[in-house]
């Protein structure tokens, strides 16, 4: 992970909101997690432009460094930093009134270099120059640009003074990119699609087509919409598993959520929630050594529901260093760090075990928990050791059935995962089935519930005298007696 990304992530976690974040930012007060998503109090994400990617000018004959008799057409290719689409260099074409022509490529490795593209006879003017910005058509990060090989800027040059080094001709990308992040908060949402034209100039059009993958509850999808300047909305079609569909509009870059059959600008409750009140996974603390450095120790807690034999502590420091250490129930030295390494993020990964009601869809996935530490004083050895907590509770329940048979399920509920667990930020648990309990017997099992919640409502049926009777119940840690 790059130093700048670590610094941005850690500082946004500590300070709350960073408008520089790619998908937004986070506010500790509102319970958002990390800098991956943005609350509505953050600055809007602006459109992404691609301007002055290629500059070309004419150096007249006889100038310093130029030919004595011929003008020189010189160009420089400057791809924008962190542009979402992959550019593949540029091509310069020229046509003179006398029928002469030339064509030369600028490769990506030649970026920022001043290159002589052609020598021009002063008597050959006027000439027509075309500057093509090439796109990498294999780039899947911006699916909406698939099939677009290049964009072209063309101009007529009447003499060598028209495009001097002080006032070059520039080739721009004629559209902006709207960065959109779609949050799935609807259990019925299947995906979206859109298609529309983007004007490239000179009568050329790129027809945008896009179809998202199925967007399950608790997952997000990032994509880019190419739009011409001045466009205020892009229409799209939402599709639901029920077969229903809805026409919606994106009104600019930013965060959107699909919930209750609608797509709306994302609100606080739509974003990944910072949940750190669940089951304790690990404890960490600092010890000072004799040379003034701090030693970070961690140990994994015995915890039902997680395979702690495969638990890993990951330490990300503000200077870009990352350590990964396998950790067990005994204190383990994670790293020795200097005061300059703060703030730092301590993360833990541990796979979710099988057989836990409510976590079936997460089985085997690396559960992640994290905390940010601004100084070693926050985790002293003498104080209560701070824990890395799961975003949910795991507890044992026992059903003692005094009837001829019992079966039941829990009402639907949502477990907020924060981010980074099985590539989702929330899990919708739908009618979690409890074990069937035979006549006058009992059975114990593990249940996962939202953090801080140790009572789960449900419905079931018990067999009494050969007839089924519907019941409502509340399940909690301990023993629930049916039919007493």
Predicted local distance difference test score (pLDDT) of residue 139: 72
Supply the pTM of this predicted model: 0.78
> For 460-472, what is the mean pLDDT?
95
Q: How far is CA 411 from CA 153, 221, 268, in A?
A: 60, 28, 24
Q: How far apart are CA 212 and CA 224, in angstroms?
A: 12
CATH class of the domain whose range is 176-270: mainly beta
Please indicate whether residue 258 or residue 8 has the higher confidence score (pLDDT).
258
Positive or negative torsion for Cα 26, 31, 34, 37: negative
280-389 and 393-482: identical CATH topology: yes
Predicted local distance difference test score (pLDDT) of residue 384: 61
**480, pLDDT greater than 90:** yes
**28, pLDDT greater than 90:** no
Q: How far is CA 458 from CA 61, 409, 448, in A?
A: 87, 6, 14
Segment among 184-188, 379-383, 480-484 with least mean pLDDT = 379-383
Length of the chain measured in residues = 484
- Band (pLDDT 50/70/90 cuts) for residue 43 is low
When the pLDDT of each residue in the chain is averaged and rounded to a whole number, the result is 85
Q: Which one of 1.10.3470, 2.60.40, 3.40.190, 3.30.420 gives the CATH number of domain 393-482?
A: 2.60.40
Locate tokens 């003692």: which residue?
400
Q: How far apart are CA 85 and CA 295, in angstroms?
A: 42
Q: Are 188 and 217 in contact (CB under 8 A)?
A: no
Q: How far apart are CA 409 and CA 177, in angstroms?
A: 46
389-407, pLDDT tens digit by residue?
888 899 999 999 999 999 9
Query: What burial letters (b/e) apply to 148-181, b meaning 16+ CB within 10 Å?
Result: bebbbbeeebeebeebeeeebbbbbbbbbbbbbb
> For 334-356, what is the mean pLDDT?
89
184 forms bridges with which residues in the sheet?
258
Domain coordinates in residue numbering, the chain: 1-39, 54-171, 176-270, 280-389, 393-482
Predicted local distance difference test score (pLDDT) of residue 143: 85
Segment among 69-78, 125-134, 363-372 with least mean pLDDT = 363-372
Q: Which one of 2.20.25, 1.10.3470, 2.60.40, 1.10.1740 gives the CATH number of domain 280-389?
A: 2.60.40
Angle 94-198-133 (CA atoms, 0-180°, nearest 5)? 30
Q: Are 192 and 236 in contact (CB under 8 A)?
A: yes
247 forms bridges with which residues in the sheet?
237
Predicted local distance difference test score (pLDDT) of residue 186: 92
**178, pLDDT greater than 90:** yes
The CATH architecture that domain 54-171 belongs to is: Sandwich (2.60)
Q: How far apart are CA 466 and CA 453, in angstroms?
A: 35
How many angstroms separate the first and last alpha carbons of the chain? 59
Predicted local distance difference test score (pLDDT) of residue 5: 41
User: Within 10 Å of residue 4's Cβ, how many Cβ atoms?
Assistant: 10
Predicted local distance difference test score (pLDDT) of residue 263: 93
205-223, pLDDT tens digit by residue?
999 998 888 888 998 988 9
Q: How far is CA 11 from CA 3, 231, 405, in A?
A: 12, 34, 56
Predicted local distance difference test score (pLDDT) of residue 12: 40
* Count of CA atoms in the C-beta half-sphere (13 A) of 138: 1
> For 211-240, what is the mean pLDDT?
91
Predicted local distance difference test score (pLDDT) of residue 142: 86
Q: What is the DSSP string of 406-474?
A: EEEEEPPEEEEEEEEETTEEEEEE-SPBPPPB-TT-EEEEEEEEETT---EEEEEEEEETTEEEEEEEE
């Amino acid at each position: 992970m790059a130093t700048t990304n670590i610094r941005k992530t850690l500082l946004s976690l500590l300070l709350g909101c960073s408008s520089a974040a790619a998908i937004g930012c986070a506010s500790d007060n509102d319970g958002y997690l990390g800098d991956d998503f943005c609350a509505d109090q953050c600055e809007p994400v602006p459109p992404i432009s691609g301007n002055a990617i290629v500059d070309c000018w004419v150096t007249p004959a006889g100038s310093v460094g130029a030919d004595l008799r011929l003008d020189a057409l010189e160009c420089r290719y400057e791809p924008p930093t962190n542009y979402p689409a992959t550019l593949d260099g540029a091509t310069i074409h020229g046509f003179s009134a006398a029928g002469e022509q030339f064509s030369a490529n600028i490769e990506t490795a030649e970026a920022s270099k001043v290159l002589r593209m052609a020598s021009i006879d002063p008597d050959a003017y006027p000439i027509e120059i075309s500057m093509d910005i090439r796109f990498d058509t294999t780039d899947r990060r911006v699916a909406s640009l698939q099939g677009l090989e290049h964009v072209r800027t063309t101009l007529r040059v009447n003499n060598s003074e028209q495009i001097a080094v002080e006032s070059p001709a520039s080739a721009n990308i004629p559209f902006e990119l709207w960065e959109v992040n779609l949050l799935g908060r609807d259990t019925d949402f299947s995906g979206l699609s859109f298609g529309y034209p983007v004007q490239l100039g000179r009568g050329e059009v790129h027809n945008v087509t896009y179809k998202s993958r199925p967007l399950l509850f608790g997952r997000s999808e990032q994509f880019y919409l190419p739009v011409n300047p001045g466009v205020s909305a892009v229409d799209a079609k939402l599709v639901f598993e029920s077969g229903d569909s809805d026409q919606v509009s994106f009104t600019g870059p930013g965060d959107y959520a699909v919930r209750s059959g609608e797509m709306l600008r994302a609100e606080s409750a739509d974003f990944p929630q910072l949940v750190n009140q669940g089951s304790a996974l690990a404890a960490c603390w600092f010890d000072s050594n004799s040379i003034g450095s701090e030693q970070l120790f961690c140990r994994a807690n015995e915890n039902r529901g997680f395979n702690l034999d495969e638990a890993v502590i990951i330490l990300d420091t503000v200077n870009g260093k990352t350590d990964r250490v396998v950790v067990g129930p005994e204190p383990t030295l994670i790293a020795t760090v200097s005061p300059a390494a703060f703030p730092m993020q301590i993360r833990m990964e541990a796979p979710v075990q099988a057989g836990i009601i409510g976590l079936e869809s997460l089985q085997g996935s690396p559960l992640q928990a994290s905390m940010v530490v601004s100084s070693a004083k926050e985790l002293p050895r003498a104080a209560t050791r701070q824990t890395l907590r799961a975003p949910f509770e795991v507890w044992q329940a026992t059903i003692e059935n005094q009837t001829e048979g019992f079966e039941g399920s829990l009402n639907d509920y949502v477990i907020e995962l924060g981010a980074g667990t099985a590539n989702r930020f929330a899990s919708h648990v739908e009618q979690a089935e409890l074990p069937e309990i035979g006549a006058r017997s009992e059975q114990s099992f593990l249940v996962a519930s939202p953090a801080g919640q140790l009572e789960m409502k449900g419905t079931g049926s018990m067999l009494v005298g050969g007839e089924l009777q519907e019941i409502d119940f509340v399940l909690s840690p301990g023993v629930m007696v049916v039919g007493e």
